[in-house]
Amino acid sequence: MFLVCLSDFEAYAKKHLPKVTWDYFAAGADESCTRDDNLMAYKRIRLRPRVLRDVSVVDTKTMILGTEISFPVGIAPTGFHKLAWPDGEESTAKAADAMNTCYIASTYATCSMEEIVAAAPTGFRWFQLYIHQKRSASEWLVRRAEALGFQAVVLTVDVPYSGKRREDLRNDFQLPPHLSVKNLEGSFEDHDRSEYGLPANSMEPRLSWEDIRWLQSLTHLPIVLKGILTKEDADLAVRHGVQGIIVSNHGGRQLDGVPATIDALVEIKEIVQDKVEVYLDGGIRTGSDVLKALALGAKCVFIGRPALWGLAYKGEEGLREVLQVLKDEFRLSMALTGCRNVSEIGRHLVQSSRL
C-alpha cells in the first residue's frame, strides 16, 4: 500500500482501528465545530508566491528553544498511543528522533517517561504536564522529567474540566484494563480510581496565573503554555516569564465554538512579537499548512491526530512516513513560494485580507 498524503493515513487508521478507539482519537467537543474549523481555516488562506528566486537549494531547518530541528513540525502531546500501536509512545519517540524533531510526551502516555527516554536516548523531547488536584503527583512528574533530560515543560492550561465528547459518552470509553497511565502509577489510592485509572474529575480547576510561579519554583526547565487563544492571555504569559506559547484549542476537544488556531495566531503574535516563541497545533494536514502557519507567525507547528494515524499504519515506520510526507510537502511549498530557508517565510506570503 502506497500512502501519499495525510488523508491516506487517516483513511487507513479509520478502517483498521477499532471503532471505539477511532472515535476517541477523532472526537471533538459537542458539535465538533472547532475541530472541523481547525482544518477549514487553512483552506481559506491564500498564498502570494514569489518567483525567479533560485530555489535549487531549500533548507527546512529551524531552531526552537535553542535546539535545531530538521523542519518546523513536531509531535504534539496526545494520550494512549498503545491504543494505536503495541509499542505506543516508545515508537513515537523513536520516529521523532529519527526525523530529528521534537516530541512532546504526554502525562497520559501508556509508556512511562523512563521507557520513552530508554527507547530514544538521544531524542529531543519536552514533557506535557497536567496539574491534578493532588499537587504532589504533578510535582513528582516535573522533577522526574527534568532528571531524565526532558528539555522543557509544556503546561496544558485549557482543561480545568474535560470537554463533552459525545461519541466517548455514547461508547462509554474506558482505557482497556491491560493499559494504564504509566506516569501516574502509584500516585493515587486504588479506591480513587475510576477514569483512565485515575480519579474522576481529577484536574485542578483552581489553577491560576499564580501557579506559574509555583511551577517555575520546581524546575530550571523552560515553561511553555499550551492552550492560549487570546492576546490577553498571551500578554499575561509573557508577563509571567514563560518561554513559549502553543496556540491550541486542544484539537477542538474542549470548548466548542472557539477560533481555529490559525485564526487565533495573528492577534497573539501581534501582542507577543518576539518576546517568547509562539507555536501552534490543530488542523495541520499538508506542508502548505505548515508554511501558512509560519507565515502568520508560528515558530513551529505540532501534529496530534496525524501522528496517531502513522502509528496505526506501521508504528515507528508509519509515523516516520507521516513526518516525511509533511517535510517533503513543506520543502516543496517553500520552493514554490520562493523561500530558500525558513527565515524567508513571512507575512508577505499571505494575502493581506488574512492580516
Strands 67-69 and 73-75: unpaired
pLDDT confidence of residue 108: 96
User: Within a domain: residue 226?
Assistant: yes
| pLDDT greater than 90 at residue 232 | yes
Q: Residue 325 is part of a domain; what is its CATH number? A: 3.20.20.70
What is the arithmetic mean of pLDDT over 153-173? 96
Picking from 216, 201, 115, the residue whose alpha carbon sits closest to that of residue 160 is: 201
340 inside domain: yes
Q: Is 250 a catalytic residue?
A: yes
Q: What is the pTM of this model?
A: 0.97
Task: Give residue 191's pLDDT.
Answer: 47
For residue 190, the model assigns a pLDDT of 58
In a domain? residue 69: yes
- The enclosing H or E element of 277 equals strand 277-281
Q: Three-class SS of residue 301?
A: strand
Q: What is the DSSP letter of 341?
A: B
Confidence of residue 48 (pLDDT cuts 50, 70, 90): very high
Model confidence at 353: pLDDT above 90: no
What torsion do the CA atoms of 260, 261, 267, 272 make, to the nearest 10 degrees? 170
Amino acid, res. 52: L
Catalytic choice (81, 220, 240, 250): 250
Q: What does the DSSP 8-state code read for residue 47?
A: B
Q: How many structural domains does the chain have? A: 1
Per this entry, what is the length of the chain?
Answer: 355
Flag whether 1 is in a domain: no
Range of the domain at 69: 6-354
Q: Render pLDDT for 187-213 as a digit per residue (tens, 0 to 9).
A: 776 545 556 767 777 889 999 999 999
- Indicate whether 336 belongs to any domain: yes
pLDDT for position 148: 98
pLDDT digits (tens, 9 = 90+) for 284-336: 999 999 999 999 999 999 999 999 999 999 999 999 999 999 999 999 999 99
Q: Is the pLDDT of residue 272 over 90?
A: yes
Query: For residue 354, is pLDDT > 60?
Result: no
Which of 126, 76, 17 shows the shortest CA–CA distance to 307? Answer: 76
